[in-house]
Amino acid sequence: MRDGVVWDRKAWALLFVLSGNMLLDALEVAVVLPALTPLGAGFAITTSDAQWVMSGFALGFALLLVPGPHLAARIGRKELYLGAMLVFAAASVVAGLTDSFGVLVATRVVKGLCAALTAPAGLAIIVSVFDGPARRRAVSVYSLFGAAGFTSGLLLSGVLSAHDWHWTFLFPAPVALVLFAAGLRVIPRAPAEPPPPLDRVVLRDGSLLRAGFGAAVLNGTYIGLMLLVTTQLAHLAPWQLALALLPASLPLVLAAPHGARLVRRFGTARLIAAGALCSSAGNALYLARPEPEPYATALLPVLLLVEAGFVLSFVALNLQATATVPADRRAAAVPVYQTFVQLGSAVSLPLVALLLTTGGPRAAMALVTAAAAVGAAVALTGLRSTTTGKVPS
């Protein structure tokens, strides 16, 4: 190991169990995109209805992020984590076998609730088990698996949805059960301390609120654009759609390990502003001509610009969220930031789907572009604050 720390097999096993579950949590939105067209045809529903399979997961995720640490302190971190994994696996089985759209949406909400418990708990376990350079390496691996989740979800769903959309929702079940069995052996049982109170110190922190709003806009406009493009490319086979969307996810996987280096060189505020401007430019470009074909000159430049926004600001937003929060309040601030991220999708998807159904692609893109422009404006205010010394970079 380059960090000079020798990890035993149990440490590696623990890291890959936690990271593997993080990957499952992260791919849950992406798997729906290639499956959206066959799913809509199977249930004979509109895009406005079908999007609830995506937004239901995001809504469930957002609902339990803040209460999650309190539940971990009461029940036990290991017990809560493993229990959520079992429920996640059960919900995946039900989702893969059901022919009821209402049941499918309900399982997606349940899986979102489970992800809200396992994702923060997994990171907390890593922080408690690994120290020093080993902790930084472990968090990097954990984050990399999370960044790879969207790409993995696209590719897997592209293959599975070509046969039957049910497999798209069923395949996480055996993976979650394997991770559960391994977690029984390698996850340490240790008490979780109650999180600090969510008080005015946290809720009035300008850096946290700006980062949370920026992340919500970045995530919401991104997933809104993906929904629109998926609807427009409904004539493609699921595997073709997955490949077409790869430029909107793969660059982040490749760049994520270098995010901290970018922050050290340019600072969080500059990267967040640059990312927001790239995202805004990409959405504005598609608003000018909301047609995905010819792919190389119409859609590809848009996807690359929007993804550049993530590459530049993904790590910076996470760091900026707690930059000015007192150390003893950061454990309360992180769930607030993560809730912003999920609410971005939960709010954006129904609105984009509604406008797409009632007003067409240009109306939907007008909303996405306007939201991205507001996000860029807020990011630029953070940049100005940095120059006056109010927000560290």
Q: What average pLDDT is seen over the chain?
A: 90
The region of weakest confidence among 7-16, 106-115, 163-172, 384-393 is 384-393
Question: Binning pLDDT at 50, 70 and 90, where does residue 6 land?
Answer: low
The pLDDT score that the predictor gives to residue 139 is 78
H or E, element range at 272: helix 268-288
Which pLDDT tens digit goes with each residue over 286-309? Answer: 999 999 999 999 999 999 999 999
Cα distances (Å, whole numbers) of residue 27 to 20, 51, 184: 11, 16, 23
pLDDT (mean) for 25-54: 91
pLDDT of residue 81: 93
CB contact at 8 A, 247 and 304: yes
Place of tokens 């809200």: 116
CA dihedral over 14, 168, 95, 147, signed as positive or negative:
positive
User: How far apart (Å, rounded) are the C-alpha atoms in residues 306 and 244?
Assistant: 14
What is the model's pLDDT at position 143? 81
State the pLDDT at residue 388. Answer: 42
Model confidence at 376: pLDDT above 70: yes
Between 237 and 259, name the one with better pLDDT. Answer: 237
**Angstrom distance (rounded) from CA 57 to CA 342:** 9
Is residue 27 over pLDDT 80?
yes
* Amino acid identity at 304: L
In whole angstroms, give the CA distance from residue 375 to residue 217: 6
Q: Does the pLDDT at position 391 exceed 50?
A: no
If we measure between CA atoms, which residue out of 353, 352, 372 comes closest to residue 308? 372
- pTM for this one? 0.91
pLDDT at 387: 47
Which positions ≥6 away from 312 have C-beta within 8 Å? 262, 271, 272, 274, 275, 278
pLDDT per position as a tens digit, 108-143 = 999 999 999 998 888 888 877 877 777 777 877 888
pLDDT tens for 310-353 read 999 988 998 888 888 888 888 888 899 999 999 999 999 999 99
pLDDT surpassing 70 at residue 393: no
pLDDT for 385 equals 60
Task: Supply the pLDDT for residue 7.
Answer: 65
Cα–Cα distance measured from residue 72 to residue 78, given in angstroms and rounded to the nearest whole number: 8
Asked if the model's pLDDT at residue 99 lies above 90, the reply is: yes
Pick the residue with more confidence: 158 or 257? 158
Do residues 284 and 222 touch, judged by C-beta distance below 8 A? Answer: no
